[in-house]
Amino acid sequence: MPVLVPGGHVFIATNPLVSYLVYEPFIQAGFEKRGEIIRVVYTLRGGDRPKNAHEEFPDITVMPKSCWEPWGLFRKPCEGRVQDNLRKWRTGGLRRISAEEPFKDLIYSLPGRGLEKELAPHPSLKPQHFLRQIVRAAVPFGHGVILDPFMGSGSTIAAATALSLRSIGLEIDRDYFQLAKKAIPALAEYVPSENGVNGTKR
Ligand SMILES: C[S@@+](CC[C@H](N)C(=O)[O-])C[C@H]1O[C@@H](n2cnc3c(N)ncnc32)[C@H](O)[C@@H]1O
C-alpha cells in the first residue's frame, strides 16, 4: 500500500479454494476490490478423487476439478474522482485492448509449458501470453513500475521488459533468483502465438 500511488492496481494470482482468505487482508488494509480476472486454464493436476480410496469410490469427485484460476484485482483508493486521478497520477483505470474493446475479466490461457518451460523451469510458471495482457492493463498510460514481490522465474518481470516497462522483482529462494536472472531476458524475447500455443524465440 505505501509504495502505490493513489489508483494503483494490484493483481493477485490465487486459486478457488483459498482466494477468499487471500482477499480479506487486502480489504482490511484499505484496498478496494475491483473484481476478479478469470484465467481459464486446465492444468490436468490430480486431487479430485478420494485420497487412497479412489478405487473404492470410482464415481466420486471430492471437489470440482478446477479449470480456472482467480486473479484478485484491487485498487488503492483514488484521490478525488477517477478522471482527476487519471490526470494527476496516471492511474485509477486499466488500459483497454483498444478504444473500441475493453479489458475483460475472462482470459483463455494455457499452463506455462513447451519452449517457455524450457527457458524458465519453475513449477508455477505463468505464460507470457497471459502475463503481458495483465501487465499492459495494469499501467493505463504505459508509465510506472511493475512490482512482483514473488517473482519465481521472473515471468512478470519478463512481460514488463517485453512491453518496455520498468520493473522490480523479489524472490526469496536463491536458486529461483538465479534462474530468474537467466530466464528474464530469454522470456522477454519469447514471442507467444496468437492463442498462446507454441510461441517462438525472437
Ligand atoms: C507461485 S511462485 C511465482 C511464479 C511466477 N509467477 C512464475 O511465473 O515463475 C511464488 C514464488 O514466491 C517466492 N516467495 C515465497 N515467499 C516469498 C517472500 N516472502 N519473498 C519473496 N519471494 C517469496 C517463492 O519462492 C516462489 O518462487
Q: What is the pLDDT of residues 170-187, one digit of tens each?
A: 999 999 999 999 999 999
Considering the chain, what percentage of its residues have pLDDT values greater than 70?
Answer: 98
Domain 9-47+63-190, CATH homologous superfamily name and number:
Vaccinia Virus protein VP39 (3.40.50.150)
Residue nearest to atom 19 of ligand 1 (CA): 172
* Residue 44 pLDDT > 70: no
Pocket of ligand 1 (CB under 6 A): 122, 124-126, 149-150, 152-153, 155-156, 170-173, 176
* Residue 137 pLDDT > 90: yes
Q: What is the predicted pLDDT for the residue at 45?
A: 67
pLDDT top residue among 42 and 2: 2
What are the pLDDT digits (tens) for 89-100? 999 999 999 999
pLDDT top residue among 101 and 48: 101
pLDDT top residue among 199 and 86: 86
Residue nearest to atom 20 of ligand 1 (CA): 172
Long-range CB pairs of 110-117, under 8 A, 24+ apart, other chains included: 110/41, 110/196, 110/197, 111/41, 111/42, 111/43, 111/44, 112/155, 114/198, 114/199, 115/190, 115/198, 115/199, 115/200, 115/201, 116/187, 116/190, 116/199
* Residue 109 pLDDT > 70: yes
* Residue 31 pLDDT > 80: yes
User: What is the average per-residue pLDDT within 127-155?
Assistant: 97
User: What is the average pLDDT score of the chain?
Assistant: 94
For residue 18, the tally of other CB atoms under 10 A from its CB is: 10
Domain residue ranges of the chain, discontinuous segments joined by +: 9-47+63-190
What are the pLDDT digits (tens) for 147-165? 999 999 999 999 999 999 9
Euclidean distance between CA atoms 142 and 8, whole angstroms: 13
Q: What is the predicted pLDDT for the residue at 69?
A: 95
